[in-house]
Structure 1
Amino acid sequence: MILDRVKPLSAILEAVEKKGLPRTLGGFQLMLFGIGCVIGTGIFVLTAAGAQKAGPGLMLAFAIAGAVCIVAALCYSEVASMIPVAGSAYTYSYASMGEFLAWTVGWALIMEYAIAASAVSVGWSGYFSGTILHEFLGITLPPWLSAGPLALGGAEGGFINLPALVIALLVTWLLVIGTRESAVFNTILVIIKVTALTAFVVLTLPQVETAKFNPFLPAGVFGGFGSGVGAVGAAATIFFAYVGFDAVSTAAEETKNPQRNVPIGLVGSLLFCTVFYILVAAGAIGTIGGQPIMGPDGIPFPAGSEELARQCALPQYAGALVCSDEALAHVLRQVGFSTVGNMLGIAAFLALPSVILVLLFGQTRIFFVMSRDGLLPEGLSKVHPKWGTPYIVTIITGSLVALAAAFFPVGQLADISNAGTLYAFGMVALAAMVLRRREPDVQRAFRVPGLVIVGPLTIAGCLFLFLNLPIEAMLMLPVWSLVGAVIYFGYSRSRSHMAAGVVEVHEPEITELEPDIPGIADRGRD
């Protein structure tokens, strides 16, 4: 019963045939697009959390996460090239494995988007408090206004992360009234981010001391099931720094010679980002050190935990990388480049709100597609008569995002978001294999070479990283999925359009999904 109601692929592709896109992108253009989509939030806000989990082994963690992304990206490309419609992994699953599994993917994506937006809000708060308020205005927010409470893993004396709460609510308000970002503005933000990180690498690498990398793996490669530490545990967390590459896979329809250029764009952009991330990690750790603060049992204190917060409050850890809320700007200040560090902080301050906006906007896409299929109440996506935006779901989502940002630390939020992302990516790989067998004759602009190997590798890689998340993050996915299953069998299944025999696909016009964000892909983090 749970594997029934597979949406006919012909019905989904009918909408695509009405609006074919010209093939204009080459491999190099696709690679640049991928770099712009990927580089940003994770490297700005998760460097400290990653170092606390793995120490210098953070560099190995970036390589592990990048490798999983490469095989997942290839699977995404094949499915996206044959089903280039809104809904992403949710739609792919509906066309291959049926309604229930599609529901679980869509439900996981809803969690992923919301939690990721909360994580970025917390990351923005660190740069706002450290660079804008402290460095430029001489204002120091008290801990009870700049971090979540101790019971939820915040800093010493934390009560509420007020800047994170405010920025999440502000972005929600902008989405409700119908803000638009231009492609030019987005391009400027990408240039700012890449320039800032390049400056960081250029200034820090000459000052690297090899002694700072010893021991290289203080917590080992595997920290143990559910511990979330070690190089693999850090990889499971900083996987967040790569998400956005799947936006490149959706461009297969617009790519010249996709069989050649799609893998060049995907693998090239991910390899570039991986090397770039490793250089940034080397510069940060090799200059001021990045050894984790160990507990009495010889295992690093959990990132964002009460125990770590207490250690970071001690004088000897005042300048530690793992204790910083704005890691990269902090490193530059510590090595004598305060002005450049402040400029990098400003770059993050300017760029991160647009990421929050894209994540919240992307979630409205998922809600629209699921409500369009009858799986969620249509009232959730009711459009405001004046602003033309899905204001009800935007307000609900934005409020929950703001509350999570106010009380949880960035590392925990990223781990929970990654749990949903890894599930979705694994399901896309499964969808690629199912569709290759079930729909072998459907045209594919790109076919994964050796899918029989790449597909299982993707699923194994996603499962591998999932099992190395902290136990709390791992448990969040099945709990969230159980809630979703109750909703599906109690409400959605009986109201599904498929249950009523309605299979036609209406691909929404862009005006139905205001606000439009030209130049920014739905699933990008940047």
Structure 2
Amino acid sequence: MIFGRVKSLDAILATAEKKSLHRTLGAFQLMLFGIGCVIGTGIFVLTAAGAQKAGPGLMLAFAIAGLICIVAALCYAEIAAMIPVAGSAYTYTYATMGEVLAWTVGWALVLEYAVAASAVSVGWSGYLNGLLMEFFGFQFPAALAGAPLALGGIEGGIINLPAVFIALLMTWLLMIGTTESARVNAVLVAIKVTALTAFIALTLPSEAFSTDNFNPFLPAGVFGGFGSGLGAVGAAATIFFAYVGFDAVSTAAEETKNPQRNVPIGLIGSLLFCTVFYILVAAGAVGTVGGQPIMGPNGIPFPAGSEELARQCATFAANELPLVCSNEALAHVLRQIGWSGVGNMLGIAAFVALPSVILILLFGQTRVAFVMSRDGLLPESWSKVHPKWKTPHVITAITGVAVAFAAAFLPVGKLADIANAGTLYAFMMVAIAVMVLRKTAPNTPRAFKTPVLWLIGPLTIAGTVFLFLNLPFEAMIVLPVWAVIGLIFYFLYSRSRSHLGRGIVEVHEDELEPHSPIN
């Protein structure tokens, strides 16, 4: 295999069985986990940015991103049911293409989850400050609610305390137990789904809804050009962040009852649910208040989040603010069509529900790092399981502190694009792994088989590469730089400590039934 050191399926399952996590989650809880992470920052925060890139073509952007995620989910479903352990794309790559490539995937997932969790923490901090001012007439001082390096954030910031607080609170919740985390997540999911259902019910039948608002449908075209991040495809590359999270379902496979059945249901069910919701929400927003981008003098939309766009938005009165200028797009739409009270409630719902996104991102991050530690590629103490809580408390605490630190001090501008780069790489590797396993382990039982894999696999690879090439250039370059840092760490530390490299296996293959599942 590529680069050698391929870990057999038997060895992976035996390691998980000897040092395993507690199985408590069912199919419904997995769907809620997926929905909890998917419905969050993307739809509540990135709707305006997506409209600035694509205009009314935002609907098409959601469909493009959703389609690529659906074909990727079909690949995830087969391999997650086949290898029902924590670790997600990292574990799957280890079993098919070897340790070096598995390390790069795990390293990319660390970037994805940690960066995204930090970004959502900072977004939650902004909601908190806005609500405090709206309802109580005060807010945190700028020095305590803005990062000193924040791009486009509060000037004069020293530390973002609310962001630190919410990151550490979600970390504590994950440490005390997966079941408790799932229960809290279920409540937060119910709040988000109720809020978005109300939005759809008030906008689509509204008298303000007009098909004229969809013309021109693609003011920036379908393709914005390499590295521009514009057009429907450029918007899809950005709002792909709105779908990040469904893969976290696969990281929960080791804590799932009957994973061969429940993991595919959780993956595909949560994704289909969210895709339909997103398209309906986008239709309601654009159809009622319009979603045309603000164009520059050259007829090209100003970059989302740019100073030029901010200056243009500052020229509008508060009651005439375009959708693309709003920091709380959905609440803004409801206020514009006469539902101010409901709009404020939706803002509160977003504020209350965003922590569930942080929760699942942290969950995915800790489970990937847990398995990398269990394989000896990260310090082995990180994979200790708490005797009472039955969770990997050490790596959870380390991850939470790192995410809180990043949320407190580091730039958050364009982090969605950066997180997307790592996610797209992981999705591509999963598609390759499924196709490789069809050749190398054709007789292994598969509770779920990806239909027409000869088509779905290449489509997933092509789709992820396509979206990656339509990210802004600065986001594209982060992934190779991060990969180089990771490879340096691997060759200086991890390679010599790898259990597989040192010949350490939990159970020899002849001691197990071939590919025995863990139940």
Confirm or deny a common fold (TM above 0.5): yes
* Mapped partners of 2:12, 2:387: distance in 1: 29
* Mapped partners of 1:420, 1:178: distance in 2: 29
* Mapped partners of 1:497, 1:15: distance in 2: 11
Give the structure 2 partner of residue 413 of structure 1: 415
* Superposition CA RMSD, Å: 3.6
* Mapped partners of 1:353, 1:32: distance in 2: 14
Give the structure 2 partner of residue 473 of structure 1: 475
Post-superposition shift, 1:429?
0.5
Post-superposition shift, 1:42?
1.8
Match for 1:240: what amino acid?
F
- Say if 1:145 and 1:158, in contact at 8 Å, map to a contact too: no
Give the structure 2 partner of residue 186 of structure 1: 185
* Mapped partners of 1:20, 1:376: distance in 2: 18
| Stretch of structure 1 that moved more, 44-53 or 451-460 | 44-53
Post-superposition shift, 1:185?
3.3
- Say if 1:176 and 1:387, in contact at 8 Å, map to a contact too: no
Give the structure 2 partner of residue 214 of structure 1: 215
Give SS of 2:489's match: helix
Post-superposition shift, 1:96?
0.4
Give the structure 2 partner of residue 196 of structure 1: 195
Give SS of 1:224's match: coil
Give SS of 2:84's match: coil
Give the structure 2 partner of residue 228 of structure 1: 229
Mapping of residues 421-432 of structure 1, within 5 Å: 421-432=423-434
**C-alpha offsets along residues 344-402 of structure 1, whole Å, 9 cap, x if unaligned?**
11211111113212322332222221111111123555678999876665455334423
Post-superposition shift, 1:171?
2.6
Q: 1:310 to 1:462 in 2, by over 3 A?
A: same
* Mapped partners of 1:246, 1:73: distance in 2: 8
**C-alpha offsets along residues 434-458 of structure 1, whole Å, 9 cap, x if unaligned?**
1110011111111112111111110
* Mapped partners of 1:312, 1:398: distance in 2: 36
* Mapped partners of 1:442, 1:165: distance in 2: 46
Match for 1:490: what amino acid?
L
* Mapped partners of 1:352, 1:190: distance in 2: 9
Count residues with an aligned counterpart.
501
| Stretch of structure 1 that moved more, 324-333 or 292-301 | 292-301
Q: Does 1:305 align with 2:306?
A: yes
Give the structure 1 partner of residue 461 of structure 2: 459
Post-superposition shift, 1:338?
1.6
Give SS of 2:72's match: helix
TM-score where L is the length of structure 1: 0.84
Give SS of 1:58's match: helix
- Say if 2:51 and 2:291, in contact at 8 Å, map to a contact too: yes
- Say if 2:248 and 2:364, in contact at 8 Å, map to a contact too: no
* Mapped partners of 2:388, 2:259: distance in 1: 41
Give the structure 2 partner of residue 521 of structure 1: none
Post-superposition shift, 1:276?
1.7
* Mapped partners of 2:217, 2:313: distance in 1: 22
Give SS of 1:332's match: helix
Q: 1:485 to 1:120 in 2, by over 3 A?
A: same
Match for 2:133: what amino acid?
H
Post-superposition shift, 1:183?
4.0
Give the one of 308, 324, 327 matched to 1:325: 327
- Say if 1:16 and 1:84, in contact at 8 Å, map to a contact too: no
- Say if 1:147 and 1:154, in contact at 8 Å, map to a contact too: no
Give SS of 2:95's match: helix
Post-superposition shift, 1:221?
0.8
Give the structure 2 partner of residue 94 of structure 1: 94
Give SS of 1:3's match: coil
| Stretch of structure 1 that moved more, 329-338 or 314-323 | 314-323
- Say if 2:21 and 2:390, in contact at 8 Å, map to a contact too: no
* Mapped partners of 1:264, 1:215: distance in 2: 38
Q: 1:391 to 1:267 in 2, by over 3 A?
A: closer
Post-superposition shift, 1:301?
2.3
* Mapped partners of 1:143, 1:255: distance in 2: 49
Give the structure 1 partner of residue 133 of structure 2: 134
- Say if 2:21 and 2:391, in contact at 8 Å, map to a contact too: no
**C-alpha offsets along residues 40-59 of structure 1, whole Å, 9 cap, x if unaligned?**
33212211121121111111
- Say if 2:93 and 2:105, in contact at 8 Å, map to a contact too: yes
Post-superposition shift, 1:340?
0.9
- Say if 1:233 and 1:465, in contact at 8 Å, map to a contact too: yes
Match for 2:190: what amino acid?
I
* Mapped partners of 2:63, 2:466: distance in 1: 14
Q: Does 1:241 align with 2:242?
A: yes
Give the structure 1 partner of residue 511 of structure 2: none
Give SS of 1:483's match: helix
* Mapped partners of 1:32, 1:404: distance in 2: 27
Mapping of residues 259-338 of structure 1, within 5 Å: 269-316=270-317, 319-338=321-340
TM-score where L is the length of structure 2: 0.85
* Mapped partners of 1:376, 1:353: distance in 2: 28
Q: 1:310 to 1:157 in 2, by over 3 A?
A: farther
Q: Does 1:162 align with 2:163?
A: no
**C-alpha offsets along residues 286-326 of structure 1, whole Å, 9 cap, x if unaligned?**
22222222233332222223333333333357722222222
- Say if 2:58 and 2:282, in contact at 8 Å, map to a contact too: yes
Match for 2:191: what amino acid?
I
* Mapped partners of 1:355, 1:466: distance in 2: 23
In structure 1, stretches of 5+ residues that fail to align are 507-526
Give the structure 1 partner of residue 513 of structure 2: none
- Say if 1:154 and 1:409, in contact at 8 Å, map to a contact too: no
* Mapped partners of 1:164, 1:466: distance in 2: 32
* Mapped partners of 1:265, 1:394: distance in 2: 23
| Stretch of structure 1 that moved more, 7-16 or 173-182 | 173-182
Give the structure 2 partner of residue 174 of structure 1: 172
* Mapped partners of 1:400, 1:103: distance in 2: 20
* Mapped partners of 2:64, 2:413: distance in 1: 18
* Mapped partners of 2:392, 2:21: distance in 1: 27
Give SS of 2:400's match: helix
Match for 1:331: what amino acid?
V
Q: 1:178 to 1:310 in 2, by over 3 A?
A: farther
- Say if 2:37 and 2:356, in contact at 8 Å, map to a contact too: no
- Say if 1:110 and 1:363, in contact at 8 Å, map to a contact too: yes
Give SS of 1:222's match: coil
Give SS of 1:300's match: coil
Match for 1:171: what amino acid?
L
* Mapped partners of 1:368, 1:16: distance in 2: 11
Give the one of 396, 399, 422 matched to 1:397: 399
- Say if 1:127 and 1:349, in contact at 8 Å, map to a contact too: yes
* Mapped partners of 1:435, 1:333: distance in 2: 52
Q: 1:298 to 1:167 in 2, by over 3 A?
A: farther
Give the structure 2 partner of residue 450 of structure 1: 452
Q: 1:248 to 1:152 in 2, by over 3 A?
A: closer
Give the one of 358, 367, 370 matched to 2:369: 367
| Stretch of structure 1 that moved more, 342-351 or 461-470 | 342-351
- Say if 1:156 and 1:309, in contact at 8 Å, map to a contact too: no
In structure 2, stretches of 5+ residues that fail to align are 509-519
Identical-residue share of aligned pairs (%): 71
Post-superposition shift, 1:63?
0.4
- Say if 1:175 and 1:394, in contact at 8 Å, map to a contact too: no
* Mapped partners of 2:388, 2:312: distance in 1: 52
- Say if 1:304 and 1:410, in contact at 8 Å, map to a contact too: no
Post-superposition shift, 1:210?
2.4
Match for 2:67: what amino acid?
A
